[in-house]
Structure 1
Amino acid sequence: MEPAQAMIKTKLPKGFTSNSVNCGVRKYRPDLGIISSEVDMVVAGVFTKNEGRAAPVKYCQSILPSDRIRHIITNSGQANSATGNRGIEDNLELVQHTASTYGCLPEQVVISSTGVIGVPLEMKKLKRGINELHDRKSKSANSFALAIMTTDLIPKSVYKDIELSEGKVRLTGVCKGSGMIHPNMATMLGYVFTDITLTPESAQRYVRDIADKSFNMISVDGETSTNDSFFLAANGQSGLTLNDPEDERIFLEAFEEISIFMAKSIAADGEGATKLIEVQLKGHNDLERAREAARGITNSPLIKTAIHGEDPNWGRIYSRLGQFGVPEEMMNRLNLSIQGVPIVKSGQPIPLDYYKMKTRFTEDVIKIELDFCSGDIQTVAWGCDLSKKYIDINTEYN
């Protein structure tokens, strides 16, 4: 993925437009964004497993997957979670107002929210903002990326053009997330837009599978939000399909690539984070247990604080693996390396120059490699260190 594609102007696929406004919920930056398609699009999604689901999550789960969506609208600053019946009614009113403003049916509008939990939506401001959005259109996703931010330090968007057997298609990804990140489908919102032709069934299958390899493999603080959502939207405006298995492979490879790029961007932008943690695990014999073990490391406060303090205390990693059910016979085969330096071989520690190793922990990305030599399952998880700034940010959030 070329950095320029992620950091400068993030182009939308054919037939998509977007924009954002500041409607007054946030003080200084956009707080309401929309992405629209010129024609009906297929939209599928996966959502939080938190039992306290926000009103927009419940609404989206009731209408998706669908092949009739025209608009995706998102507000930031107020999550519309823990707002009771009023939240359900406010969500529906925003959907209906968007549909009326844009001349479509309510069931053609997808909505998501992020921000403070337990605060009712400021409906007058949001409805006024929807009216303003109608008169603004852009073919870049950048303004939408700004509008969905909360404690994020940077907007997160990326695009990739791919060549299929009969022509080019584009995938554009936008996401937000910095704290309350431990998705189980962080607050995490992710969107991928494409001009390929998909069915609702294939889109749902693709988004579920890719979520498990990307957004479900990140953790900042172990907190699963009430609003976590990941959407795939396809409007077919390229005129191309994925009937050719090789085309499908190329498309899914690109979809996975930009989803992992976004997931890593969220982990790297974790609240107060100074280092990205990447755990590469292989040689396991059970995929779900492998994923649990890898995420267990990225989510450990002891490991996260050790990495922040640039302390190569690998015993915390060993202990965490046992906590997450790695059996003794696999631990006895473990090969562990940190920053490319072997630490454990066949379950036995290798003499370590502590101070030399400590200098390797000054780097921005800390890579932990695990090989259990017990199977062909491999997975990757991402997280970040835990600093005092995380406490400062979250004590001041409201």
Structure 2
Amino acid sequence: MENKTITAVRGFLAGAMHCGIKESGKPDLALLVSKVPAAAAGVFTTNKVQGAPVIIGREHIAGGHLQGCVINSGCANVCTGQRGLRDAREMCVLAARHLKNAGLPLLPAQMLPSSTGVIGRFLPMDKLRRGLPTLVEKLADTAQAGEAFAQGILTTDTCVKTAYTTLRAGGSTVTIAGNCKGSGMIAPNMATMLAYVATDAAIAPAALRRIVKAVADQTFNCVTVDQHTSTSDTFVCLANGMSGGRRLTGSGLNTFAAGLMEVCLSLAKQIARDGEGATKLVRVFVCGGRTSADAKRAALAIANSPLVKTAIHGGDPNWGRFVSAAGYSGANMDVGKSVCKVGKITVFRAGRPTEVALSKVEAAMRQTEIDITLDLGTSGTGTAEVFTCDLSREYITINADYHT
């Protein structure tokens, strides 16, 4: 079977194991390493309360190069003061030391640390100290190693999230593959989301930085589950240049950007689909905005409304909640010229309901994937697309039982 995990990218090794953080016995320590230094770019949480690994990660990626990522799940290392910063740095030191012993010499500053899980608890560093030497020995470029890495970064997720593509650029075949985790505490401007994308493209750090930011704005920052922006968000892309092609410029950069967009959009949709307690994936598309920012404001108001999300869960064709949410969003809107659709069914036009049969709308609302489209009626060209999910009783159960 063809390897379509993150280890399908030339020059990348990965692995994961259980080191004892999670009581469940599931993998809770993961490594992704390039055989050579890589150009690197990342986007991090906008929450003013930031995890220690985010603070250290920003420092390490500032120069535009990394060689690996070390991740633990089950403990977020957030609100842990100076000790938390020391622990995040030690994660990188330990990883670098054992990788060097295994024949992959690199500096601690070339590692990016990430932690996800319960806030306000110190990392059990004794478990990481014991686990990392064993994990380094497990590193491989096999599909099994890639699958293990995808498992090792999860918390309340119900499934792994993987995306993969290949393209021609710079005179060679370039591979892009990634994994992410995210199920709850998801809101735009990064959320409880860790995303790692590897590519063998040859690309300058400055160009990669521009592309990563643009892609994040149109993918991960357009996902919302519960409006709760996390403290630990990290989206990082490593490009090690091992495809054998030329450094990408011009049209090659555009081709690469489209491939990265494809991978990240797939991952973003997988996050929304796996929202805690979710049973439906919802796409909200707003057009006719005076600006794209206006359109996004309306789209987010619809996607974040508890009344909208519960109506979707119950299959209730209450499109009035969609229109009214856009109305309070602050976006410019001409109600008399607005149009709202559920799937392909127009339910609202020119300030009044259409005469469509309610049963047709109910059938559309019962689907597991639902499109909500709203034209704001301003004659503007602004558009926005946001992904979300329904709000179920299971969401309450999960978050009542899971201590974050």
TM norm structure 2: 0.93
Give the conservation status (yes or no) of the 8 Å contact 2:41–2:237. yes
One-letter code aligned to 1:236: G
Corresponding residue number in structure 2 for 1:288: 293
Give the conservation status (yes or no) of the 8 Å contact 1:183–1:225. no
One-letter code aligned to 2:70: I
Give the conservation status (yes or no) of the 8 Å contact 2:6–2:197. no
The superposition leaves residues 1-24 of structure 1 with CA deviations (integer Å, 9 ceiling, x where unpaired) of xxx989x75543111010011101
Match of 1:109 among 108, 111, 118: 111
Give the conservation status (yes or no) of the 8 Å contact 1:159–1:173. yes
Corresponding residue number in structure 1 for 2:61: 64
Match of 1:250 among 250, 255, 260: 255
Work out the percentage of aligned pairs sharing the same amino acid: 38
Q: Give the alignment of 1:205-284 within 5 angstroms.
A: 205-241=210-246, 243-284=248-289
Match of 2:160 among 148, 155, 170: 155
One-letter code aligned to 1:351: E
Distance 1:285 1:242, change over 3 A: farther
Structure 1 Cα separation of the partners of residues 53 and 245 of structure 2: 32
State whether structure 2 residue 12 is matched by structure 1 residue 16.
Answer: yes
Structure 2 Cα separation of the partners of residues 5 and 80 of structure 1: 36
Distance 1:263 1:5, change over 3 A: farther
Corresponding residue number in structure 1 for 2:37: 40
SS, match of residue 135 in structure 1 = helix
Bigger CA drift: 58-67 or 228-237?
A: 58-67
One-letter code aligned to 1:360: A
Corresponding residue number in structure 2 for 1:120: 122
- Residue-pair matches, total: 393
Structure 2 Cα separation of the partners of residues 324 and 67 of structure 1: 38
Match of 1:348 among 349, 352, 363: 352
Shift of 1:48: 0.7
Structure 2 Cα separation of the partners of residues 243 and 351 of structure 1: 54
Distance 1:22 1:243, change over 3 A: closer
Structure 2 Cα separation of the partners of residues 300 and 241 of structure 1: 47
Give the conservation status (yes or no) of the 8 Å contact 2:190–2:230. no
RMSD: 1.7
Bigger CA drift: 388-397 or 134-143?
A: 134-143
State whether structure 2 residue 135 is matched by structure 1 residue 133.
Answer: yes
Corresponding residue number in structure 1 for 2:385: 380
State whether structure 2 residue 49 is matched by structure 1 residue 49.
Answer: no
Corresponding residue number in structure 2 for 1:369: 373
Match of 1:186 among 186, 191, 201: 191
The superposition leaves residues 210-247 of structure 1 with CA deviations (integer Å, 9 ceiling, x where unpaired) of 00000000001110000011111100111324544222
Structure 2 Cα separation of the partners of residues 284 and 239 of structure 1: 44
One-letter code aligned to 1:136: K
Structure 2 Cα separation of the partners of residues 59 and 296 of structure 1: 33
State whether structure 2 residue 200 is matched by structure 1 residue 198.
Answer: no
TM norm structure 1: 0.95
Shift of 1:291: 1.4
Match of 1:146 among 138, 151, 158: 151
Bigger CA drift: 354-363 or 48-57?
A: 354-363
Structure 2 Cα separation of the partners of residues 165 and 42 of structure 1: 16
Structure 1 Cα separation of the partners of residues 135 and 402 of structure 2: 27
What stretches of structure 1 move > 4 A for 4+ residues in a row? 8-11
Runs (5+) with no aligned partner, structure 1? none
Shift of 1:366: 0.9
Bigger CA drift: 123-132 or 149-158?
A: 123-132
